[in-house]
Amino acid sequence: MEHVVHGFGGFKFRVLFYRHGYAIHYAEHVVDPRDGREKLVMADPHNRFSVVIYDVIKGVVEEELTVPGKTIPNPHTAHLLLDNIPAIGGKAGDILCTDRESRWVLIDRDEKRVKWSLSLEDAEWPQDIVPVEEGFIISDYGSGGSGGFVRKVSFDGAIKWSLPIGNAAKISKIFGATASGIHSNSFGGDYIIAQNSDIGSVYEIDENGRVVWRCPKGYGEANSIWLYKPHSAFRLGLAEAGGNLTVVGLEAGGGVIAIDYNCRPRWGIASTYSHIPTLHYRPSTYGLFETTHVFPTLWGTIGAVDWRGYAGSAVIEVLEFPRKPLTWILALGIDPGNGMWLDPPLEILDRESVAMDIVNDGETQVRWGLYVTRQPALIELKHRVRWQLYSSGISDPGSVQSIELDNRRRMFTFARLRAEKVGSGRSSITIFVVWL
C-alpha cells in the first residue's frame, strides 16, 4: 500500500493507519504467526473499545475485537501472541489485552471470546500485560492519578514481586543480546516501564523487579532529563558498552525523544510544559499533539501514535527528525563540596551551541569553570587530556547565571564543567542545559 509522506518543519512521516472515528492509543508491528503477514495490532480505549488488526501491505482492517465491560476506558494495549502459552490455553495469534472490567484478559481470536482472565483486588485501571517465562509482567495505572503498580504474576495470578509506581502505563520488553553475546540493548534489565506523570519516569527493571536504570534521576544527582507525561518507551539499537538509546513518547504536547544512558537527549521532538496559569498541553511546532505510544517497526524505523486527524488518532512511521534545540539537566540540586567535575564531558563536536543556566539555591557561593578541548578522544591512560578554560565565574546564593558556548564553527570536541563551594553553609546548584 502506498503511504503519502507528510512534513512539518523538517519532521517527516508516513501515515500507516488512520480511520475516521478510530482513537488508536497503542500499536505494535508484528508478523502474524497465522499467515506470516505484517500486521498492526492496535488498541482503541476511547472510541471503539476494541482491538484492531490491520494488514499493513493490503491496507485493510482484518478483524476488530470489542473487549467486555462498560466501566473503564480500555484496552490501552493489545499484544498478539507469537507463541503458544499452554498454561492458559493461549494459541499463537490470540490477543492479550485489558478489558473494561479491570481485568487482564486473553481473547480467543477464532471464537472472539475471553478464555482466560486475571483479576486482582487492588487493581484500579489495568494498562498492560506482557508474557514472560512462568507468567506475566503487568501494569496498573491507578485511579485518579494515585496508586498504580508494576508486578510479576504467575499464570494463576500469584504475585512474585510488586513495585509501587503511580500512573504505571506501558511495558516494553528489552530483547537482550545477539547470539554472540557481545552486543546488547540492555543496561542490566529486561523491561522498560513508562510512568505517565507530569514529570514522569522511564524505569528499566530486571526479572526480579529491581530497578537498574531510570530517567529522570532524583535531586542530588547529575545528568537528567524531565519527561512530560511519558506514556511509552522502548530501547533502540544493539550496541556495545551501553551505547543504546531509549525512545520515549511524550503525551504532554506531543513528542518523541531519544535519550542515552546518561539521560541526555540525542535527537527528537519535545515541547515545553507549563501549569501557568493552568495545566494546558501545548502542541509542538512539528505537527505532534499528544503522542500516546512509540514502537519499533519491523523495518528498523520508529513508529508512533499521535492524536492527529479529524475525530481520531493516527499511527505513523517517522522518516526524519528535525535538528532542533533539546533541553536537559546537568545537575539537579547538587552540592559540589570542595570541587567536582560534572561528568561525563559534553560531546559537542556536532553541536552548534550549548547554553546553561546555573541556579544557586544554596546558602553559599559556588565557583564554576567551563572548559573545552579539541582533542578527538579522551583516553587519560594513553593520552593526557588538555583542557582550556572557556569561561568562569562565581554564582551567588539565590542567583541565576547564564553561560553560552558558541560552537557554530565546530572548533571544540568536548566541554566540561567544574564547580566548587566557596565558604561554609549548605550548597545546592541546578544547571539547566539547552543544546543545538
Q: Which tens digit of pLDDT belongs to each residue from 66-92?
A: 999 999 999 999 999 999 999 999 999
88 phi/psi in degrees, rounded to 5:
-120, 10
Q: Where are the domains of the chain?
A: 5-323, 327-435
pLDDT for position 144:
64
Fold of 5-323: Neuraminidase (2.120.10)
Is the backbone peptide bond immediately before 164 cis, with ω within 30 degrees of 0? no
Amino acid in position 10:
G
> Are 243 and 185 contacting, i.e. CB atoms less than 8 angstroms apart?
no
CA distances from 428 to 235, 305, 350, 366, 395 (A): 33, 40, 31, 9, 11
Domain 327-435 class in CATH = mainly beta
Per the DSSP assignment, residues forming a β-bridge with 41 are 28, 53
C-alpha cell, 197:
506523570
Amino acid at 238: L
For 163-190, how does the pLDDT look when each residue is reduced to its tens digit (9 = 90+)? 999 999 999 999 878 888 788 899 999 9
Strand ranges (E), 226-269 = 230-236, 245-250, 255-259, 265-269
Q: Do domains 5-323 and 327-435 have the same CATH topology?
A: no
pLDDT tens figures, 119-136: 999 999 999 999 998 999
CA distance 202 to 225: 11
pTM of the shown model: 0.96
pLDDT digits (tens, 9 = 90+) for 316-330: 999 999 999 999 999
φ and ψ of 343, to 5 deg: -95, 170
Nearest by Cα to 11 from 244, 324, 330: 324
- Contact between 383 and 348 (Cβ < 8 Å): no
Give Cβ neighbours of residue 239 (< 8 Å, ≥ 6 apart): 183, 184, 185
> Residue 401's CB: how many other CB atoms inside 10 A?
17
